[in-house]
Copies of this chain bind each other. A is one copy, B any other.
Amino acid sequence: MRSVAVSLFLAFSGAACAHPGHGTPERHDPAAVRTAIEGTLVQFGAAMKRTDARAIASMFTEDGEYIRVATKGFPTGRTAIQEVFAARFTAARFVDVAIATVSVQVEGDTAYETGTNRLTVQAGDAPPVTRTGRYLTVWKRQPDGVWRIRVDAIVPDPLP
């Protein structure tokens, strides 16, 4: 049921800027692209809280990449990304997740977004810890009209 809900959501969020998709890239309305991206990020945060690594992986393109401090290299593809999140969910529970878009720029079927995140995580019975960060994400509009994450680079904030 969860993955059906996510698929329906993704289909809907893409429909806002659907086009025939043939020939030269079209110009997508930046406000509509931002709305689609922000909608997917709400789903991303919800999936983290319910530990749904598969739903998160489905928000990436088939060749999506995920770059973060605590994971080596450039995990690429939905299977690898799902494994990264599954491991995170085993290590700790995400009590609260807030992802906020700062800016979105669109060129053709590519968009790049900056934003901030605030994650509250709890490992076992330890007190919850809140960490903040920033990110740069490249999104690609897919043939099904959905914007998915092509590369996600997460940069922690400096320690206070």
List the number of copies, as a whole number. Answer: 2
Is residue A102 within 8 Å, beta carbon to beta carbon, of the partner chain? yes
Contact across chains for B112 and A155 when beta carbons are under 8 A apart: no
A156–B155 alpha-carbon span in the complex (Å): 8
Instruction: Determine how close the nearest CB of chain B comes to the CB of A100; give it in whole angstroms.
Output: 12
A114–B24 alpha-carbon span in the complex (Å): 25
Q: Which residues of A contact B (CB under 8 A)?
A: 24-25, 65, 67-74, 102, 105, 107-110, 112, 114, 134-136, 138, 150-151, 153-158
> Interface centre among A65, A109, A153, A156, by most B CB within 10 Å?
A153
A109–B71 alpha-carbon span in the complex (Å): 31
Contact across chains for B158 and A155 when beta carbons are under 8 A apart: no
